[in-house]
Amino acid sequence: MSQPLSEADTIAYLRSPQAIRERCGKLFEMAQADQLRYFRCDLTQIDRVADYVIAVTREHYPDLQIPFHSRWRHFEVGNVPRLTHLDRALAHLSPIEKAKAKFDLVIPSVLLDAGAGDRWHYLEAETGQVWSRSEGLAVASFHLFCQGSFSGDAANPYQTSAEGLQHLTPDSLAQGFQVSPENPIVGLEGRSQLLQKLGQALQNHPTWFGANNPRPGNLVGYLLQHSENGKLSAPIVLNAVLESLGEIWSGRVSLSSVNLGDVWLHPALPGTQISDKLVPFHKLSQWLTYSLLEPLQELGLEITDLDVLTGLPEYRNGGLCLDLGLLQIKDKLILQQPHLPGSEAIVEWRALTVCLLDRIADTVRQRLRLTPAELPLVKVLQGGTWTAGRKIAAQKRPGGIPPIQIESDGTVF
């Protein structure tokens, strides 16, 4: 008999991509045996879904030169040279300092990326273009960063500091996001609290963020120290994100007073301990990890073990599986009311999405005759499942809303 894990080992396990796949896999096995309460799987639809994803991918990337699924794609929307502007503004910096500035931009931007709702939009003054959802949040946060709203130092606007974040209020964030009674955003208070907690985490963890002028960008130095021969394993980046930012998430499950983040209970899982029934997802943390890789690549690092990370269990990828019949709802009442992220139905939906994304990616690669190295999961997402999920949603429902409504606090999806 193997010894039960200590609480420290359990925490480390629940922060690993291995745990995400294993715990989600248990629910996937139950779904295949039709033993879940809310969903069943129909794997006969996998080829149809893969073909749809390939068609969408070829529409956007005819040469199959697909970039990573990351926040940087959203900064490029509308073919506006925002990143060219940023590079010009950072041109006087050393390569490492430039990477730090890009971390300073992308970390708060990703943390602000939870669903905005279908009524909010952002008017970009520089272009006159209007953006909503993830693109709108990206463009709004990009301009907030460039204006020095996260800096706390008027002489150095292109940075994010603990001081700058802790001075942010719901009112100042609402102003930056152009929020009004006619233009409401979901989870404004939650977003503001998240950035303030990020500021506190920067001060609390000098190992990752530095003792003097703690910044998200100082994580670059930590990751460089953990690279070997010019290579850096993607799970090392994820682990640094989870350990350094774990305390910022509100209302989450804790073990030994350690906040586990995007980890939720499902009562059907076997085991006698509460920890046996926990399902980790770490969606925003993995999205953030994917978004940190490109500035590291610009420093010449080779990123390894990309496919150890998982697909992102959010409503576009999950909606794709549902809208194309890979997932089937047992009770249509699910569609008629919003659900909290910790509800059993949402945990099932997300867990099955993680497993189905791996299978979709395998099928897409087989049909395109590409290897995992040539088409890693992070590119399948970009090509890809996320875009396809948005497209099918727009065809099926006014405003392209997800098939299942989630009561978000602005910190999960």
**Strand pairing report for 130-132 and 121-123:** antiparallel
| Banded pLDDT at 3 (limits 50, 70, 90) | low
Whole-number pLDDT of residue 116: 77
Mean of pLDDT values over 273-282: 94
CA trace torsion 181, 186, 192, 195 (10° rounding): -150
pLDDT per position as a tens digit, 381-390: 999 999 999 9
Strand partners, 279: 264
Q: Give the torsion sign (CA, 303, 307, 308, 309).
A: positive
Mean of pLDDT values over 182-205: 91
Mean of pLDDT values over 190-219: 93
| Cβ count within 10 A of residue 394 | 12
Whole-number pLDDT of residue 250: 75
Q: Residue 357 and residue 309: Cα distance in Å, rounded? A: 12
DSSP states of 160-184: --HHHHHT--HHHHHHHTT-BTTB-
Joined tokens for residue 178: 């152009």
pTM over cut 0.85: yes
Mean of pLDDT values over 282-308: 96
pLDDT of 33 higher than 90: yes
Whole-number pLDDT of residue 347: 97
Could you tell me if 268 and 90 are in contact, meaning their C-beta atoms sit under 8 angstroms apart? no
pLDDT of 341 higher than 50: yes
Whole-number pLDDT of residue 231: 98
| Banded pLDDT at 412 (limits 50, 70, 90) | low
Whole-number pLDDT of residue 29: 97
Q: Residue 353 and residue 312: Cα distance in Å, rounded? A: 8
| Banded pLDDT at 330 (limits 50, 70, 90) | very high
Report the SS3 class of residue 80: coil
Cβ-Cβ contacts under 8 Å for 108 (sequence gap 6 or more): 141, 145, 150, 160, 165, 195, 198, 216
Tokens 């999961």 belong to: 377
Mean of pLDDT values over 74-102: 96
Q: Residue 140 and residue 142: Cα distance in Å, rounded? A: 5
Tokens 């463009």 belong to: 139
Among 256, 255, 258, smallest CA distance to 243 is for 258
| Banded pLDDT at 6 (limits 50, 70, 90) | confident
DSSP 8-state assignment for residue 63: T
pLDDT of 267 higher than 80: yes
Helix H, strand E, coil C: the string for 133-162 is HHHHHHHHHHHHHHCCCCCCCCCCCCCCCH
Whole-number pLDDT of residue 411: 63
Whole-number pLDDT of residue 53: 98
Among 8, 386, 19, 389, smallest CA distance to 238 is for 19
pLDDT of 2 higher than 60: no
Per-domain boundaries in the chain: 1-69+264-286+302-413, 72-225
Tell me the C-alpha to C-alpha distance, in Å, between residue 244 and each of 22, 200, 219, 241, 375: 24, 11, 9, 5, 30
Q: Residue 410 and residue 187: Cα distance in Å, rounded? A: 4
Q: Residue 183 and residue 409: Cα distance in Å, rounded? A: 17
- Separate counts of helices (H) and strands (E) for the chain: 18, 10
pLDDT of 213 higher than 70: yes
Joined tokens for residue 73: 């794609």
| Banded pLDDT at 1 (limits 50, 70, 90) | very low
Burial class (CB in 10 A: 0-12, 13-18, 19+), 371: exposed
pLDDT of 114 higher than 60: yes
Report the SS3 class of residue 66: coil
More confident residue, 377 or 257: 377
Among 237, 231, 277, smallest CA distance to 255 is for 277
Mean of pLDDT values over 122-149: 94
Percent of the chain with pLDDT over 70: 98
More confident residue, 408 or 88: 88
Mean of pLDDT values over 9-37: 96
The pLDDT mean for the chain works out to 93
Among 145, 100, 160, smallest CA distance to 299 is for 100
Q: Residue 17 and residue 254: Cα distance in Å, rounded? A: 18
Joined tokens for residue 94: 């050393």
pLDDT of 352 higher than 50: yes
pLDDT per position as a tens digit, 76-87: 999 999 999 999
CA 281 to chain CA centroid, nearest Å? 10
Range list of β-strands (E), 34-158:
39-41, 121-123, 130-132
